[in-house]
């Protein structure tokens, strides 16, 4: 039986929109206001989504259950698989003491917490976003920051804020490539357009990051270093996206930014060293203090401490290369169409130009999954650190037990996000934004923000709303590439509040059951930055229209 999505089941968009928002409101309220544990909040949201889908949107109950099951599988692989193996590597490094040496070496570059934050959360995180995406940068940087002595809220929240500007070109350009492929955008044109929006925020976000951490005065005290970090990222981001393509934007920009900051710190240091590792005004959070001095460690010890993370970087980069993924998928990547769901749901106008079936094929791409590359890098690092095979296996299963609730939460949240997609409730929310007329460039940008906040992925948001952006832009006389790019650029700011990323951050910092605290901290930053992207897109649409035209 083929079921057509219904976007206004009550014949009144206001009522339908309020109903469609119920599952998200239930989950976020449970998490952020009622301090309910994340896996229980996710289960409540999923339960609400099932009720709304079946009784409000008339989706067949069996189909709704299969959509949730399909999303749960997606939560385990690739997302949960990444989280598990990153924490596994972290556990290995902590157990033999090499993580302390790593912390000390980072402190050797600079003892100033603000500068450590720029180097690790922004530069290092951007590299991992460009190479792998899908939660990897937050898992890595939050884990390193908590090891350096940052408080759990600071390590979690600031890693999420930093992981914004690079997201549109994450995982070797996957979000942009998917947007162009699925919805018929010209790849180079929409890439160039994103490259004319995000560099402004690549410059702004490092300032915003330090302001959120230490306050306005402390931010201005190190403005030269922040400016070097932002400019050295933004300029390569613009040049690579406009003249080369989407695949290497983040990797090149991150490497240039990291090198520029390190070199700059050789000739410049702040007058006052900021030693607090807690968020300003929250010193009682319990940060663990300053890392040890590098003076007590030999060069050989420093090399041993860094080698597992260098191995991780190499493996993640290799696993992100399209030819490598294609090869592994040709060896082993069985596909399992979800019976009773695959091609049984029709997306219909005005969301798409003509009715199209929704695919539901689970690809068990275990070999090509980024998490597998991380697992192999962790094993290689463990052997380098002289772990026995028995110790490696025992540590892996201890890690699995450690993150069990986090994995359950990710499964439930992906089940919720997938169900809202197949039932059409998220599309109802998108249509509410699309009906804003002359203000559409602003609200269309917020549509992308909403899409990432709900799905946890800029790629998924582009799949979900990319077609709607194109149709709405054509009807309003706007450049389709402008709004396609706005969906992706606005979406990056939703990354810090999506439940999946918050769970990854809380797991990496061992601050499980505090996901609501993280959400409350980052929500303002997420919405404010998304609104600023919307203002920029409005200016591109009506004040500087030449910036929305791509000439190649």
Burial of 296 (0-12, 13-18, 19+ CB in 10 A): exposed
Facing residues of 345 across strands? 3
- Return d(Cα 416, Cα 45) in angstroms, integer: 7
| pLDDT value of position 283 | 57
- Alpha helical stretches, state H, 134-248: 136-148, 152-162, 170-183, 187-194, 198-214, 216-221, 223-243
Please give the C-alpha separations between residue 402 and each of 343, 359, 399, 408, 511, in angstroms, as whole numbers. 38, 35, 5, 12, 12
| pLDDT value of position 546 | 62
**Tokens representing residue 190 in the block:** 């929409």
| pLDDT value of position 329 | 95
Q: Which residue has the tokens 């890098």?
A: 377
Among 470, 458, 521, smallest CA distance to 494 is for: 458
Q: Which residue has the tokens 């832009």?
A: 473
447: Cβ contacts below 8 Å, ≥ 6 apart: 430, 433, 434, 465, 468, 469, 487, 490
How many Cβ atoms are within 10 Å of 330's Cβ, its own excluded?
10
- Return d(Cα 79, Cα 44) in angstroms, integer: 21
- Per-residue pLDDT 10s for the chain (552 aa) are 799 999 999 999 999 999 999 998 898 888 888 888 888 988 999 999 999 999 999 999 999 999 999 989 988 888 789 888 988 988 898 888 887 787 777 767 888 999 999 999 999 899 889 887 777 889 889 988 988 889 999 999 999 999 998 999 988 888 898 888 877 899 999 999 999 999 999 999 999 999 999 999 999 999 999 999 999 999 999 999 999 999 889 999 999 999 999 999 999 999 999 988 888 867 555 554 454 454 577 888 888 888 998 898 889 889 888 899 899 999 999 999 999 999 999 999 887 888 999 999 999 999 999 889 999 999 999 999 999 999 999 999 999 998 898 889 888 988 988 898 899 998 888 888 878 889 999 999 999 998 898 878 898 888 778 888 887 888 788 999 999 999 999 999 999 998 889 998 998 898 988 999 999 999 999 999 999 999 999 999 999 876 665 544
- Return d(Cα 237, Cα 192) in angstroms, integer: 10
- Return d(Cα 455, Cα 465) in angstroms, integer: 11
| pLDDT value of position 295 | 52
Q: Which residue has the tokens 């959360």?
A: 121
Query: Is residue 60 within 8 Å of residue 50, measured between CB atoms?
Result: no
- Return d(Cα 10, Cα 504) in angstroms, integer: 37
- Return d(Cα 256, Cα 128) in angstroms, integer: 14
- Return d(Cα 194, Cα 211) in angstroms, integer: 25
- Return d(Cα 264, Cα 286) in angstroms, integer: 31
Three-class SS of residue 287? coil
| pLDDT value of position 489 | 96
Count of CA atoms in the C-beta half-sphere (13 A) of 278: 10
| pLDDT value of position 291 | 47
Q: What is the DSSP string of 322-374?
A: HHHHHHHHHHS--EEE-TTTTT-EEE-TTSSSS-EEPP-EEE--TTTSHHHHH
Among 185, 204, 308, 202, smallest CA distance to 249 is for: 202
Q: What pTM was computed for the model?
A: 0.83
């Amino acid at each position: 039986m083929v079921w057509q999505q219904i976007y206004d089941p009550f014949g009144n968009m206001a009522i339908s929109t309020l109903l469609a928002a119920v599952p998200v409101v239930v989950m976020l309220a449970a998490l952020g206001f009622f301090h309910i544990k994340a896996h229980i909040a996710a289960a409540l949201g999923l339960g609400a989504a099932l009720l709304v889908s079946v009784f409000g949107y008339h989706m067949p109950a069996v189909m709704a259950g299969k959509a949730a099951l399909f999303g749960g599988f997606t939560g385990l692989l690739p997302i949960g698989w990444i989280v598990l193996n990153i924490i596994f590597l972290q556990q290995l490094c902590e157990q033999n003491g090499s993580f302390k040496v790593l912390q000390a070496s980072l402190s050797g570059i600079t003892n100033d917490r603000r500068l450590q934050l720029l180097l690790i959360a922004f530069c290092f995180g951007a590299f991992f976003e460009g190479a792998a995406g899908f939660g990897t940068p937050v898992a890595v940087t939050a884990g390193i920051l908590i090891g350096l002595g940052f408080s759990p809220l600071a390590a979690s929240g600031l890693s999420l804020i930093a992981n914004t500007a690079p997201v549109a070109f994450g995982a070797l350009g996957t979000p942009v490539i998917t947007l162009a492929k699925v919805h018929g955008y010209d790849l180079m044109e929409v890439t160039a357009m994103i490259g004319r929006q995000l560099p402004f925020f690549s410059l702004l976000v490092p300032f915003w990051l330090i302001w959120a951490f230490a306050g306005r005065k402390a931010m201005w005290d190190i403005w030269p270093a922040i400016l070097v970090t932002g400019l050295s990222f933004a300029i390569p981001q613009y040049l690579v996206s406009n003249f080369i393509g989407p695949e290497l934007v983040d990797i090149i920009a991150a490497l240039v930014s990291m090198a520029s900051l390190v070199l700059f710190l050789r000739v410049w240091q702040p007058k006052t060293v900021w030693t607090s590792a807690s968020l300003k005004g929250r010193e009682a959070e319990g940060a663990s203090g300053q890392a040890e001095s590098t003076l007590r460690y030999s060069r050989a010890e420093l090399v041993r401490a860094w080698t597992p993370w260098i191995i991780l970087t190499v493996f993640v980069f290799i696993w992100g290369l399209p030819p490598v993924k294609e090869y592994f998928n040709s060896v082993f990547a069985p596909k399992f169409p979800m019976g009773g769901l695959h091609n049984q749901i029709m997306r219909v106008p005005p969301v798409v130009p003509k009715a199209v079936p929704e695919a539901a094929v689970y690809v068990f791409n275990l070999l090509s999954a980024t998490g597998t590359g991380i697992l192999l890098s962790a094993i290689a690092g463990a052997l380098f650190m002289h772990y026995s095979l028995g110790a490696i296996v025992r540590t892996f299963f201890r890690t699995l037990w450690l993150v069990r609730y986090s994995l359950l939460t990710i499964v439930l949240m992906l089940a919720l996000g997938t169900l809202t997609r197949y039932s059409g409730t998220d599309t109802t929310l998108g249509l509410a934004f699309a009906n804003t007329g002359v203000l559409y460039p602003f609200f269309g940008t917020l549509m992308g923000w909403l899409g990432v906040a709900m799905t946890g992925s800029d790629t998924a948001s582009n799949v979900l709303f990319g077609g709607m952006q194109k149709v709405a832009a054509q009807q309003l006389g706007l450049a389709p590439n402008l709004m396609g790019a706005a969906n992706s650029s606005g979406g990056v700011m939703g990354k810090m509040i999506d439940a999946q990323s918050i769970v990854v951050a809380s797991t990496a910092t061992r601050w499980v059951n505090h996901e609501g605290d993280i959400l409350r901290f980052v929500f303002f930053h997420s919405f404010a930055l998304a609104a600023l992207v919307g203002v920029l897109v409005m200016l591109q649409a009506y004040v500087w229209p030449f910036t929305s035209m791509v000439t190649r």
